Each structure stands twice: as C-alpha cells, then as structure tokens.
Amino acid sequence: MAAGPSLEARIAETVRQLGDARAVPNRRWLSGLLGVPPAKVEPWLAEIPSLVSLARSLRKTHLAGGRRFYAQFRAPYELYALARATRPDHIVETGVSSGVSSVHFLAALRRNRRGTLHSVDLPQVQASAELGPRESEVSVPPGRSSGWAIPPLYRKGWDLHLGRSEEVLPTVVRSLPSVGIFLHDSRHTPAHLTFELETIRPKLRPGSIVLADNTQWTGDAFPRFARSLRTRVWRRGHSDLVGLRVPESI
C-alpha cells in the first residue's frame, strides 16, 4: 500500500489553505521557547493538519471581507502548539483584529478541554464597505466586530473585552490567578509594550510564555523585560516576532 502524504506535506497544505507561506511553523523557535529538544515539539506539530478546515474557513471569510492577505499574525500554528504543550489555565492577548491569533489559541484550549482565552481589542472600524486605500487591513469591516473571522464553534467560553488595553488590561489581569501565555499584538510603541508587560508581570509563573509581535517598533522594551527576568529572547527566524519563557527562579 502506498504511504500517504508526509506530515510536512500535510502541514504545507494547511498553510496553503490559510493563504500565507509565512505561517510554516518554526520548529527552532518553538523548541527554544518551550525549552525542549526539537523532537519534543513534533506531537504538537502533528496536530496542525487537523486545523485544515479552520484554515479554509478563515481564508474564505477574509476574502469575503475584502482581505487579500490572510492575517495580521504570522505564527498561528506556534500559538496552537504552545497552548497545547503548556496547557495553560489562562491565556491573555491584546490585539484581535479578525481573530487569527485568538482562534488558534481557542482551538488548542478546546482540545486541551481546559483553560480560557482573555482577549483585549480596540477595533478600528472600516469607513465603508470597501477597504479604502489608506485604511489598514487590521480594521474591522462595517457591521462586524473583533474576531469577525472566527467560526462560531470556537467562540464558546471566549472572554473578549472591547476597549483600550490601557484601560481594560489591568482589570482583566487583576481578576486572574496566573497568566500562562501572554501575546502582545495591539499598540506597538515602546511605552505601551512596557505598560502591558508590567501589567502581566505579577501573574507570570515559572514556565509562562510571553510573546510580542512587531518589536521593530518597540525599541528595547522586550529585551529589557527579558533581562529583568534573567531569561533570553527567542526571535522567530529573522522576523520581529519574539518570545521568552519565564525561568524557574522567577
């Protein structure tokens, strides 16, 4: 009997359905963040092909919403794998847009059968039915809200807060006993990233994962935070998506 397609081919097909080649998972980044040898991340990566219908649905909804490009977040499958590997009780993210990062966290928590995603987003609303030349693809089409591409199946239990992170995040975080994973993908300024990192700091535990996208705009804020925790920064390839793992001796 002929062997079926390899795992690599099935992951590539899932990425193709999502519509952005950047989403091929980076094993080195994942194993570095988790502090395990690359072979240990394979079981989580082996689950990625099961997300192919989600990928197809996201692409279809994005295209129907006038978005040529699938996402504002390049590493959805690593988010899925991190949440599967660490089985957090609480994930916090800022910056939802159409919901690509959110839905990959939600898919992992659903499979874990435990944990809650708390998301904070101040949606920018697109002015008219067509995305204007000066409008950002992160804006939300008229009549829709943050997470507009997330299929209903994944929304159960999702704790979404609409508002400025500056106002909403402290209240959300105060109500939680711990933060297992934090993703910053909202307002990319050094001061704002520092504000978010300092807000979550008291709820981090050994092994918590902290991620920040678009750090080309946030200066020294993330490396400084890593230094204060005496841990290293893991960069995803040559991109400005970075992360760290909170050490045992926090």
Ligand X SMILES: C[S@@+](CC[C@H](N)C(=O)[O-])C[C@H]1O[C@@H](n2cnc3c(N)ncnc32)[C@H](O)[C@@H]1O
Residues that bind ligand X (CB under 6 A): 71-73, 94-98, 100-101, 120-124, 138, 164-166, 185-187
Which residue, 86 or 146, has its beta carbon nearer to ligand X?
Answer: 146
- Single-letter amino acid code for the residue at 143: G
Which residue, 72 or 208, has its beta carbon nearer to ligand X?
Answer: 72
Cα angle 52, 58, 61; round to 5 = 140
Q: Does residue 162 contact residue 146 with C-beta atoms inside 8 Å?
A: yes
Pairwise CA distance, residues 51 & 41, whole Å: 17
How far apart are CB 123 and ligand X at their closest, in Å? 5
How far apart are CB 186 and ligand X at their closest, in Å? 4
How far apart are CB 166 and ligand X at their closest, in Å? 6
How far apart are CB 70 and ligand X at their closest, in Å? 9
Which residue, 105 or 229, has its beta carbon nearer to ligand X?
Answer: 105
Where do runs of H (alpha helix) occur along 47-141?
52-64, 76-86, 100-112
Which residue, 71 or 173, has its beta carbon nearer to ligand X?
Answer: 71
If we measure between CA atoms, which residue out of 181, 195, 186 comes closest to residue 84?
181
Pairwise CA distance, residues 241 & 183, whole Å: 10
